[in-house]
Amino acid sequence: MKNEVLTALQNRRSCRSYEDRQPDPAALEAVVNAALWAPSGMGRQSTVIVVVQDPATVRKLSAMNAAVMGRDGDPFYGAPCVAVVLVDRTVSTCVEDGSLAMGNLLNAAESVGLSGCWIHRAREMFDSHEGKALLNEWGVPNAENLMGVGNCILGYAAPGGKKPAALRREGRVVYVK
């Protein structure tokens, strides 16, 4: 069976090289809105998304992420936009809720012509004093209880930024009828 949703899911790949231009505002809004519609445990909607487009702040977040790894370089691969996914750590399903929001961000990006990649280490970034200060500076509600789940970098893929899909491994599904 084929349809637009399944095609987008099958075509989505992590992008590791971006054009130097911001996502179209309507496309970005649609992608972020898709994340807000992700399932959440008991409908609590514990996910908070901070969309960062300011180039200096994107560079700062990239540097924080690289520092967690103990490296230099740009772990955000030149992406012009970062959607930081945070969750209320007091909610028992917070990691799952944030992960579902990340998945929706990535899949929705593909469906509207954007590219993305899940960049880990958001937890370490926003558990740091520097990360907590940023949340407060940005005026993020409930900042003291928030935990990072992921950084979804977004933008338009540069040539060669996305590799073709690998074949799917067999034997990963068992039907019990």
Taking residues 5-27, report their average pLDDT: 95
Q: What is the pLDDT of residue 165?
A: 86
Kindly report the CA angle at 51 between 45 and 62, in degrees rounded to 5? 120
Q: Is 120 helix (H, G, I), strand (E, B) or coil?
A: coil
* Residues pairing with 52 in the sheet: 82
> Model confidence over 84-103: pLDDT tens digits?
999 999 999 999 999 999 99
Binned at pLDDT 50, 70 and 90, residue 108 comes out as very high
> Model confidence over 43-86: pLDDT tens digits?
999 999 999 999 999 999 999 999 999 999 999 999 999 999 99
C-beta atoms surrounding 66 within 10 Å: 16
Number of H-type helices and E-type strands within the chain: 6, 4
Taking residues 114-126, report their average pLDDT: 98
> Model confidence over 156-170: pLDDT tens digits?
999 999 998 889 999
